Structure 1
Amino acid sequence: MRILTAPLLISALLLSGCGGSFSDSGWNPFGWFGGSPSPTLEPEEGYDNVTDLRPGIPQITGARWEPTNEGRLLVVTAMAPTKGYSSVALITSRPQPEGRISPDPDGVLRLRMVGLPPIPGSEASRLPARPETDEITAAMPLSSVQLAGVTAVEITGAANVVTIRR
């Protein structure tokens, strides 16, 4: 029994270096003789740098935090000069990977509130918006992990910028 213990222990140690968190370490026997570099998840051509072509919402009127179980919900309200705005959303100012939101190095998360205006010449484009009934609202859930490095959120519209502190 003692004779098998040492070889089994040594082989278990060598095999443990092949996977898990030690796969990039010096304990991995496949990397001892100049093995291939470990693959990364980032695409070779980088992340898509596609910018959203929707125009900014004309007038942001306010922003507030709502508590959630996993973090906070950022709720932004705005007004437009006419009725009929659609596809309203909060997007990051700089391109980021899908589903990942992080602040700039200064701790400020910069967002844009965008939406599609009504088709020119349509009935909605001729009707002026009423502040009491035609408020535009967009929300973005942020987890506690995403909020860890955020000190403030800056929301930009077409005509103004609103900043909310954490």
Structure 2
Amino acid sequence: MTKLTATLLIATMAVSACGRLGDSGWNPLSWGSAPARSLEPEGGYTQVSDTRPSIPQITSARWEPLNEGLLLVVNGFAPVRGYSAVALVTARPMPGDRISPDADGVLRLRLVGVPPAPGSPAALPARPGVDEITAAMALSSVQLSRIAAVEIASAGNVVTLRR
């Protein structure tokens, strides 16, 4: 019995030593290996960019404290009232709600919104200081740890906030 065990042990060690793991067809560890699998979809992740036009002008931007991070509040102005679906979106498309800065540590955002249809009753002339457009974005402390500055662009100007 000990001779059979010793022979099997020597044969197993010799076969398993055939090349690196998975390099040899004689290696029993590579006989049932499946190709590497990924969670990425077949065609890759879709990069959807926001097609809403930029708000004409940014009037102010500021940080507001939160329990776990900061709230970026941006005010803008348009020549007419009635803008809807106003938001801060990333300048380059990012999958899902993942927000990350560019390689230089700057998070680039755009202030966008849908203008009122031409001739609609909502498209009244806007009054400066009264008819402001406001959008906000919450950033957690983890997201802020990678961000050195935030750059917000509109159709007419760019505002930069340093941390």
Bin of the TM-score, shorter chain as denominator length: 0.7 to 0.9
Where do residues 17-36 of structure 1 align in structure 2 (5 Å cutoff)? 32-33=29-30, 35-36=33-34
Q: Distance in 1 between matches of 2:145 and 2:158?
A: 23
Q: 2:98 aligns with which of 77, 97, 100?
A: 100
Letter in 2 for 1:54: R
Which ranges in structure 2 are unaligned for 5 or more consecutive residues?
1-20, 22-28
Structure 1 residue 111 displacement after superposition: 0.5
Specify every segment of 5 or more residues in structure 1 that has no aligned partner in the other structure, as ranges: 1-25, 27-31
Per-residue CA shift, 1:97-153, capped at 9, x if unaligned? 11110000000000011000011011222x211123211100000111111110000
Shift in CA distance, 44/70, structure 1 to aligned 2, threshold 3 Å: farther
- Corresponding pairs, count: 136
After the TM superposition, list the runs of 4 or more consecutive aligned residues in structure 1 that deviate by more than 4 angstroms: none
Max Rg structure: 2
For the 8 Å contact 1:47–1:96, the answer to whether it is kept is: no
Counterpart contact for 2:56–2:154, Cα < 8 Å: yes
Q: Kindly state the Cα deviation for residue 56 of structure 1 after the two structures are TM-superposed.
A: 0.1
Normalising by structure 1, we get a TM-score of: 0.76
Identity across aligned pairs (percent)?
A: 66
TM-score (norm 2): 0.78
Q: How well do the aligned residues superpose, as a CA RMSD in angstroms?
A: 1.8
